Amino acid sequence: MKILLITSCTGEKAVDHPQALTMEDFRQGPEHVRQRERELADVLMPARDLYTGQQHVRLMRGVRAFEEAHPTNGAGPTLELQILSAGYGLVPDEQELAPYEATFNGMKAKELRAWADALSVPEGIRAILAQPFDLCLLLLGDGYLKACALGEDVRLGGPTIAFCGSRSAKALPDLPGIVAVPLTNQDAKRFRCPLISLKGELAARLLEAGAEQSLAAASRPADELVDWLDNRGDARSASAEASSASLEKVDFVIQIPQSWHDRTHRSHMRYFIPEWDDLVDPDFDFANDEHSGGKGNWSNQVYAHQMFAEPNYDGILVSKVVAEHGKEKRARINELGVHRFLRVPRAFPVMGDCGAFGYIKEEVPPYTTDEILDYYTRLDFDYGVSIDHLIVKATAEDAQFRYDLTLNNAEEFLREHKARGLRWTPIGAVQGWDARTYASGVRRCVQMGYRYIGLGGLVRTSTKALLPILAAVRDELPAGVDLHLFGLGRLGALPEFKRLGVTSVDSASYLRQAWLRTKSGYVMPDRHYSPLRIPEAGHPDPAQDTVAGKRFRAKVLDAHPHIEESDIFQRERAALASVRAYASRKASLDSALNDLLHYDQLITSDAIDMEPLYRRTLEERPWERCPCEICRSAGVEVVIFRGNNRNRRRGFHNTYVFYRLLSAIVSGQSEEDARTAEVQLQLFDWEEGASAV
């Protein structure tokens, strides 16, 4: 008996080498690749061991179980594993590969077809599928199946099961012997693992059942096979069970209550929060400063909207340069789409833009209109912004070039959007440098036919200078055309924004304020507070110390040469213990303040007297007055400035407060809200001209 497995490579790899091969290396041909492999000889490894993405990790669990149950002796069942690599093509699992970065996901159709042909993927897959086998499991995502170009000419050497997405299932050729098993988010929830890794999980369960049972199960109809695999949970290892339970706790799509929909429906201005990988460990151990997953990533952490009863924003803004910053994130978001990646339901608004700040120094944007339209469509955005180019510190000639380029892109963007009959809402981006240029740009976008226009490049503009620009824009804005301000969520200016026709804003300022503002890092509706700075000093045990801890101590010792390293640890522990004891009403305010300031002397380099600021935070105990989920669960830890899991939680709290004040200001919900809003218009004066971080 022979079982054939065909799976895809993953972005995550066991070796993360600075000189890893790139697409440019592969495009230079086999000889160049061999030369690069000689340079990386020390880190070459078999393909089966190279990939560490969850689909491959889960699949290999099943492969190892099968191999242990059926040792190779020339007579028993055998297993052949082939891996489709976007750099190497189709390779056997024992072939040694160099670390590399390449993926079919995200490629435009013509580019993908040309590159797959260059790697001889269609010919290779046909040759392998034509060989005799008793069962083949095809575990390929959309991009990788497209690379195979499977058609009616394919000849199968035996029964084949294709675990794939619903879109790919429809695209598979109608061949005798092939059964498509389309997988959905509901299946991911059912099997308690991310959709991106579900193909590997199902294949592993089949292989863990043994050769005979696998073959018998594979003869079932697709829905019965999935049911059978669901009942194979007892065959999984204890470690896999724990992993699945952990994933289920963090990887879930939120349910949004009607109260949120009612409020957003009444609101005349929507707030989008930019996505910047702001996640936290829901089970973080504050007492021991330990992450429940060892190290944080998307697979073991949650977003802010997963920690509250309802989201504290009306939508999320995802910039392409941020979404594709790391190879692991890029692969995951392309596989899942933006809504599932963000763990929000399909009805929750997600806006996409290119992230012009990421290529501000380039002569022209690195994207084409065709590429961006495909990106927004493929990842299922609700709103997509045309390609713009920031005009910052530019010469008059360069400013005009970027201005014209932005508007020309907007025109092409809308024309192609209409020609393709796309269903998501296009937003025309406008850049400028004064009221005249912004108003002219908006006029042109209206003439093009846009019903939603976004103004960029105004983040560093003071409110005083901004309002005349908005007044000029309003004169060009017909009724029914929405206006978005990128990077501007100033509470003090919201009444004027509303009056001047702004219908949506985005900003991460109040989130980032949690760790960027010494005096106002913790926000309450009636005043701001200074977080209590107790940064991590590391660990006295060298085996458990971190790079960050070592760097921190080195900086302290350099600034205070008379201090012993042991004294740094002692002061840190005393500050933490005293603040927690005070919060529990087991110590006095003065003792907590003294220990806090004793440690603060080592870390405050800007000569700020923190005593009155810390005293007010401790005296007024704002974390006890806040009703939000973060403060209720974390307590005093939320006001301690110390690591991402505290600082980001404080940012989540700040966003909670900001969103309620924004809703009160733009909706006028009650007299009490109005009075609170008036206080905030004074408190938030520091925002004038500030950059949205």
Q: Which of 388, 506, 595, 600 is catalytic?
A: 506
Burial call 332-343: b when 16+ CB within 10 Å, e when fewer: bbbbbbbbbbbb
Q: Which of 93, 281, 353, 595 is catalytic?
A: 353
Contacts of 44 (CB under 8 A, 6+ apart): 37, 96, 97, 98
* Among the listed residues 451, 382, 376, 444, the one whose alpha carbon sits nearest the alpha carbon of residue 407: 444
Assigned token pair, 439: 């108003």
Identify the bridge partners of residue 100 per DSSP, sorted by sequence position: 21
Say whether 325 sits in a helix, a strand or coil: coil
Q: What is the DSSP letter of 122?
A: H
Rounded Cα–Cα distance for residues 388 and 412 (Å): 12
Assigned token pair, 70: 């059926």
User: What are the DSSP calls for 446-481, one per residue?
Assistant: HHHT-SEEEE-S-TTS-HHHHHHHHHHHHTT--TT-
Chain-centre distance for alpha carbon 511: 16
Rounded Cα–Cα distance for residues 693 and 689 (Å): 12
Rounded Cα–Cα distance for residues 477 and 446 (Å): 7
Nearest-10 Cα torsion for 250, 255, 259, 260: 70
Chain-centre distance for alpha carbon 484: 23
Main-chain dihedrals φ then ψ at residue 504, nearest 5 degrees: -155, 150
Say whether 427 sits in a helix, a strand or coil: strand
482 noted as active-site residue: no
Rounded Cα–Cα distance for residues 26 and 29 (Å): 6
Q: How far is CA 113 from CA 119, 129, 203, 337, in A?
A: 10, 20, 27, 22
Assigned token pair, 472: 């000029």
506 noted as active-site residue: yes
Burial call 76-85: b when 16+ CB within 10 Å, e when fewer: ebbbebbbbb
| H or E, element range at 178 | strand 178-183
* Among the listed residues 657, 680, 660, 685, the one whose alpha carbon sits nearest the alpha carbon of residue 670: 660
Main-chain dihedrals φ then ψ at residue 454, nearest 5 degrees: -120, 135
Q: Which are the catalytic amino acids?
A: 353, 506
